[in-house]
Amino acid sequence: MADDNNKVKKIAHILKEIQITLLHFVIFEALINTVLLFLVCYLVLILLGITGIYAGIPALAYLGFAIARKLSSSDVKQVEEKHEILRERLRTIRDNQDQDNFMVQKLVEEVEGKLKVVPISSFFNTKKAVSTILITAVLCFLIITATIFQVKVVDASKAVSYLKNKIIKTTAEKEGSAFGTDATYGDQSKLLALGNNAETITLTGEAGEHDQKLDDRNIATEYPNLGSATQNNEQALNKDEQELIKKYFNEVSKRR
Amino acid sequence: MADELKGNYEKVSKTFDALFHEMEKAVIGQREIVEQIVIAILADANVLVEGYPGLGKTMTIKTLARTMDLKFSRIQHTPDVMPSDITGTEIIEEVNGKRFFKFQQGPVFANIVLADEINRATPKTQSSLLEAMQEKQVTVGNKTYKLDPPFFILATQNPIEQEGTYPLPEAQQDRFLFKILMGYPTFEEEVKIAEQYTKKMEQPDIKAVMNKQTVLALQTLARQVPISNDLLERAVKIVEKTRTTPDKIEYGASPRASIGIITAAKARALLMGRNHVSEKDIEYVALPILRHRIILTFEAERKGVTRDDVIKEIVQKVK
């Protein structure tokens, strides 16, 4: 009786080992294919003049999908498909592990014997692995060549840049960006350009002179028109600029 | 022998080989029929055989009883057969001047019973036999008598000469595990039959290869044959499909058919010397189990579609 229990436990252990071994092969195969896909996408992107790092997106997506798909399929069935001598037996053992009767014991003994002649290497597709490695080597060579000689089929970088800006603009319009919109500030690209470069701003005119402290100066004599400065300043600005400023303050007040 | 079988699995398949070898001495051809009858015995169930007269139905079951060393009895049904003719009755016996009732067992008190032309018996007589099949017991008056296990009924029906018969209703046919259609032998087989049975007056010498205890042990072993969940579900799907094909099947099979398919598949696996159920077992037993449990639509019958065609199509489609 103890021997029989040990046999059933042994089969449970063997099934688990099969599962782990198959998992290793699944991950290995998925990784090789992911690398291959990454290299293909990388090559295509650099030929299009686009940064190759974006090739990581489809590669990672494929990796997740491939592993999930392989894991969802029955591991025991995969073993049975490769080895006719184990056909239907492994599944029967797996589904009847908790039963301890004469017939199950005999089946366990039979499967135990048959599993001994099943080599682990039978799950590894050597031909496919070698061909994948060769293709990978060729792709690496092509990528290096294309990078050195800066080979480009089409320069799609401008199109990608335009697309990126369009997406940002659309997102900003939908969410109401802190930087406002074209209606508030005029052309956004100038604002962004301002942020990227160091600019020296020189303030000139009445608003810029702060050589003396204000309390030491006679504001009324030096700035006789200060009371109506806003009005004067407004009149000094053209209509478009006035509209722009009004819209800006409207936007700010809305946010408050 | 029963203990030997448990300890040595290989002896099981050798036992069946010996059984078929002995059967072939008396029954020429009809290997598939014999296999199906043995499967039904292993599944502790009963069989309905439909075939023309003179095909060897009685010979087959009689020879089988001899190889299994089981008590055999035959009931020839006619419209005037009463239930008491089958189950037995109480008779008055006198001993030392005292009279008392004694129960006289009927022909149903055997291990293998041949109920010939069951469709000629009245529904009342049919029902007494059906109680024996289902409950493995017989009720006479207010007393119940258990039948000696193993108990197996092989009922026969003649597909011709249907006048004055009482066809078994579908609800009662459902109690038979298999409905076997017995056909004519091939030309070569018929030549052998004619040669063998015209040479000698004596019947062939059939040896018993097992006994009652062995049969009971084999029935227990058959139940223990493991089946994978995939195949279990496939069997149930096949039966379910008979209920969801309204264009061809008006009434499908019940869950009793699902139980029957799985039990019979296990028995067949044991008969074939396997210690697990294979999908071929399911496909093999599905036909004789389902053919008497479905009713085709009028449209299907009008087109000439047979029950066997529909069942084969379902078994092919359901994977």
pLDDT tens, position by position, B242-277 = 999 999 999 999 999 999 999 999 999 999 988 899
Gap between the Cα atoms of A151 and A48, Å rounded: 9
pLDDT at residue number A1: 54
CB burial of B280-290 (b: ≥16 within 10 Å; e: otherwise) equals ebbbbbbbbbb
Gap between the Cα atoms of A144 and A55, Å rounded: 16
pLDDT at residue number A174: 67
Contacts of A100 in chain B (CB under 8 A): none
Q: Which residue has better confidence, B279 or A103?
A: B279
* Residue to test with chain A: of B220, B221, B228, most A Cβ within 10 A: B228
For domain B225-319, the question of CATH label 1.10.8.80 is answered with yes
pLDDT at residue number A166: 81
The reply to whether A88 touches chain B by the CB within 8 Å rule is yes
Q: Which of A94-98, A252-256, B28-32, B289-293 has the highest mean pLDDT?
A: B289-293
Q: Cα distance from A88 to chain B (closest Cα, Å)?
A: 7
Q: Which of A199-208, B30-39, B53-62, B192-201 has the highest mean pLDDT?
A: B30-39
pLDDT, one tens digit per residue, over B204-223 is: 888 999 999 999 999 998 99
The reply to whether A95 touches chain B by the CB within 8 Å rule is yes
Whether A183 contacts A247, CB under 8 Å: yes
**For chain A, which residues make up each domain, given as ranges?**
2-148, 165-255
- The residue in chain B having the minimum alpha-carbon distance to the alpha carbon of residue A95 is B228
The reply to whether A4 touches chain B by the CB within 8 Å rule is no
| Predicted confidence (pLDDT) at residue B197 exceeds the cutoff of 90 | no
- Compute the average pLDDT of residues B168-186: 88
Of B226, B278, B279, the CB nearest to A103: B226
pLDDT, one tens digit per residue, over A164-205 is: 788 877 877 766 555 555 555 555 555 544 455 555 666 555
Q: Where in chain B are all domains bearing CATH 3.40.50.300?
A: 1-80+108-198+208-224
Q: What Cα–Cα distance (Å) separates residue B238 from each residue in A222, B262, B287, B290?
A: 103, 11, 11, 10
B221:A94 CB<8 A? no
A91:B229 CB<8 A? yes
Contacts of A103 in chain B (CB under 8 A): 9, 221, 224-226, 275-276
**How sure is the predictor about A222, in pLDDT bands with cuts at 50, 70 and 90?**
low
Q: What is the DSSP letter of B169?
A: P
pLDDT at residue number B172: 82
Contacts of A106 in chain B (CB under 8 A): 9, 275
Whether B145 contacts B99, CB under 8 Å: no
**How sure is the predictor about B295, in pLDDT bands with cuts at 50, 70 and 90?**
very high
Query: Please, what is the average pLDDT of chain A?
Result: 74
A101:B224 CB<8 A? yes
pLDDT, one tens digit per residue, over B48-104 is: 999 888 888 888 999 999 999 999 999 999 889 999 999 998 888 888 888 888 888
| Predicted confidence (pLDDT) at residue A226 exceeds the cutoff of 70 | no
A91:B277 CB<8 A? no
Q: Which residue has better confidence, B50 or A241?
A: B50
Q: Which of A119-123, A201-205, B144-148, B263-267 has the highest mean pLDDT?
A: B263-267
Contacts of A93 in chain B (CB under 8 A): 226
| Predicted confidence (pLDDT) at residue A90 exceeds the cutoff of 80 | yes
Min mean pLDDT across A123-132, B32-41, B80-89, B149-158 is at A123-132
Q: Which residue has better confidence, A15 or A249?
A: A249
Min mean pLDDT across A111-115, A252-256, B91-95 is at A252-256
How many residue pairs from chains A and B have C-beta atoms closer than 8 A? 46
A107:B275 CB<8 A? yes
| Predicted confidence (pLDDT) at residue B188 exceeds the cutoff of 80 | yes
- The residue in chain B having the minimum alpha-carbon distance to the alpha carbon of residue A104 is B226
Q: What Cα–Cα distance (Å) separates residue B318 from each residue in B230, B235, B306?
A: 12, 9, 19
Q: Which of A222-226, B6-10, B296-300 has the highest mean pLDDT?
A: B296-300
| Predicted confidence (pLDDT) at residue A228 exceeds the cutoff of 50 | no
B231:A88 CB<8 A? yes
The reply to whether A91 touches chain B by the CB within 8 Å rule is yes
pLDDT at residue number A230: 47
A91:B228 CB<8 A? yes
Q: Which of A120-124, A210-214, B159-163, B219-223 has the highest mean pLDDT?
A: B219-223
The reply to whether A99 touches chain B by the CB within 8 Å rule is yes
B interface with A, Cβ–Cβ below 8 Å: 6, 9, 221, 224-231, 275-279
pLDDT at residue number A229: 47
Q: What is the DSSP letter of B295?
A: E
- The residue in chain A having the minimum alpha-carbon distance to the alpha carbon of residue B225 is A103
Which residue stretches of chain B are H helix? 2-7, 10-26, 31-42, 57-67, 83-87, 123-135, 170-173, 187-199, 212-224, 229-243, 255-271, 279-290, 298-302, 307-317
Residue A83 one-letter amino acid: H
Whether A117 contacts A17, CB under 8 Å: no
Q: Cα distance from A119 to chain B (closest Cα, Å)?
A: 24
Q: Which residue has better confidence, A225 or B208?
A: B208
CATH class of B1-80+108-198+208-224: alpha beta
Q: Where in chain B are all domains bearing CATH 1.10.8.80?
A: 225-319
